[in-house]
Structure 1
């Protein structure tokens, strides 16, 4: 609710500038409470609310988190196109970023995947913004309480059935005990990873692919000699 509250107080004419899109993943019995709260708030501020449900029949037996994300972003992309939206804002926060980095590190170690939660990105023709990514969940909960905002706590967050939740419950708290700057460090790492990926992409675009050497790359010797430190790091990581 923090992001909604900020927007209705920041935008000069939120009823004409703002659309709220909500997807009910139908993963818990009380998910309807979120819809009821959003209907109450959007009605009070005369803001358009677009809602959709993810049918239980479409839930996969495995990989439900990835499929839920895929369905959610497809819904957001469709809504954005239908209503000619320029900017899509999501309420991802710093703890989401920490969890995402740890998840990608465990599952692949791919630097390009570890920077997937950028503060600015794109989704189809929309500019995708995550304005709360530098703030921790605790900071946003404190904002909600300070402003008397109602919010719904997802009870599935308290379960240990997914890797993300286990990281949230056991690993992240330990890391936070070691430093008070975990969110800032995660954001700095994500930005550095994005720069590294850009450096890799721009450099390897100049290399020549051989006719048939699988994933091998061929380039001029001078290309390697003249690399700066960042480019050399990108080359070695690949």
Structure 2
């Protein structure tokens, strides 16, 4: 097991006087890991805790596995934490698959054990064959380079981190270690069921690949580590692109010219960072196909075009701008809001409109508008556009369609239905904040100055 010791030193996986929780199923991988770390206790002055999970899926068989682990922990004088889960109930409540439900509950339970013991690490028994399976599964699913990097050696978890000391080993080496040290593992019968994707890869693909190269696990591990280092660097560079991206309540947007100043490799990664934000890191359904569609959208010659992405996300190109917005359901329509003098409103996108009494006209910006109480009927109404809307812009003799104003100002189609419009109580459109002011009379000292503040909208890499 010299390879494991060297691997631990190389990656700094265990420090002196660390507390390490070991997840132990009773199988050869986790029992060998527990036995190995138990032998390192004096060298590292490490405190070990074993946690064993019964997922409630295999009845008496899984309960016996847990009891068996408890007996071994007693022999090794290692504290034991039994965990019992109801994966079937969680699967039904959340409408997810068995493997996903089991993983969710397992990691939640192990996090609680970590916190109970204020542990530094959670040690898992993944090995080199698992690494090969994982990487090829990611590639077959159409993963992008950023996500096809295999199993990480370590990652943050529950106030500490997850560590995987056995990644340099093969399954055969672990079984040989068990035999040499008279460890008698228990075997999970479900591991033979090739209905599970991982099992199918393990039984059908892995033997062929290892016949081609018996040291494949070493090459794949080296590839995984280098890929993660490269992706970490490119990810940091891609964060710089987000300075030009505006994030708001219902999506995000950016100008194509500024985005495309950067190399294509960073554009791809910035695209995925935007999606991570919008999907709250739940991006399993996104593949390189979506990435290619996005890049073609930006390069396309059409002024207005859009893409439908999973879970109702719409990506729209309008003139020189790309926006990401969620499909708006009827019940999500922006409400009508009343605005009185000396009050303010927070709008549906986080922006604000305020109204303050004044005796002076100082609205030099399109984000400010002054009206006269003697000629405008209060309360004012703040709403979104309606079919057939027209206004009389300041400086013009006639009226103009609101639709044409949006087109002239090159406002993306996806933003037009959410743009605020200010009218008086009779429905006369007075102001489109940031775009156009209406013609109004100002011949008294009883004025009201409106201000539109977009700062409440989320922007940058929020």
Shorter-normalised TM-score: what interval? 0.7 to 0.9
Are the structure 2 counterparts of residues 44 and 162 from structure 1 closer, same or farther at C-alpha, using a change threshold of 3 Å? same
Match of 1:51 among 61, 82, 93: 82
- For 2:124 and 2:173, the matched residues in 1 are separated by 17
Question: Residues 192-221 of structure 1, C-alpha deviation per residue, up to 9 Å, x if partnerless?
Answer: 221222122111122232456469683595
Aligned mates of 1:100, 1:213 — CA distance in 2: 34
Conservation of the 8 A alpha-carbon contact between 2:91 and 2:97: no
**Structure 1 residues 13 and 191 mapped into 2: Cα distance closer, same or farther (>3 Å)?**
closer
| CA distance 1:40–1:10, shift in 2 (3 Å) | same
Q: Structure 2 vs 1, CA of residues 215 and 88 (structure 1 numbering), >3 Å: closer, same or farther?
A: farther
Q: How does 1:26-175 map to 2 (within 5 A)?
A: 26-29=56-59, 30-55=61-86, 56-60=88-92, 62-115=96-149, 117-175=151-209
Q: Which residue in the other structure is 1:218 paired with?
A: 258
The offset of 1:168, in angstroms, is 0.7
Structure 2 distance, partners of 1:32, 1:162, is: 22
Query: 1:19 maps to which residue?
Result: 49
Partner of 1:228: none
Contact residue 127 and residue 167 of structure 2 kept, 8 A: yes
Query: Which structure shows the bigger proportion of residues in strand conformation?
Result: 2
Contiguous gaps of at least 5 residues in structure 2: 1-30, 247-251, 270-462
SS at match of 1:114: coil
Higher helix share: 1
- Give the CA RMSD over aligned residues: 2.6
SS in structure 2 of the partner of residue 172 of structure 1: helix
Q: Which residue of 2 aligns with 1:3?
A: 33
Contact 2:260 2:267 in 1 (8 A): no
Aligned pairs (5 A) from 1:184-195: 184-195=218-229
Q: Distance in 2 between matches of 1:32 and 1:146?
A: 27
Alpha-carbon distance in 2 for matches of 1:147, 1:51: 25
- Say if 2:138 and 2:150, in contact at 8 Å, map to a contact too: no
CA distance in 1, matches of 2:54, 2:146: 30
Larger displacement relative to structure 2 (188-197 or 152-161) = 188-197
Shifted more, 197-206 versus 2-11: the winner is 197-206
1:13 CA displacement: 8.9
Give how far 1:117 is off: 1.6
Equivalents in 1 of 2:112, 2:129: separation in Å?
A: 28
The equivalent residue for 2:214 is 180
Question: Is the 1:94–1:183 Cα contact (8 Å) retained in structure 2?
Answer: yes
TM-score by length of 2: 0.46
Looking at both structures, which has the greater relative contact order when contacts are Cα pairs under 8 Å and sequence separation is at least 6?
1
Structure 1: which 5+ residue stretches go unaligned? 225-231
Secondary structure of 1:20's counterpart equals strand
TM-score (norm 1): 0.86
Distance apart, 1:5 and its partner CA: 0.8
Offset of residue 140 of structure 1: 0.2
Shift in CA distance, 158/194, structure 1 to aligned 2, threshold 3 Å: same
Further displaced range: 134-143 or 195-204: 195-204
Count of residues paired in the alignment: 229
| Alpha-carbon distance change, 167 to 215 in structure 1, aligned in 2, over 3 angstroms | farther
CA contact (8 A) 2:244 2:254 kept: no
Question: What is the SS of the residue equivalent to 2:156?
Answer: strand
Secondary structure, in 3 states, of the residue corresponding to 1:218? helix
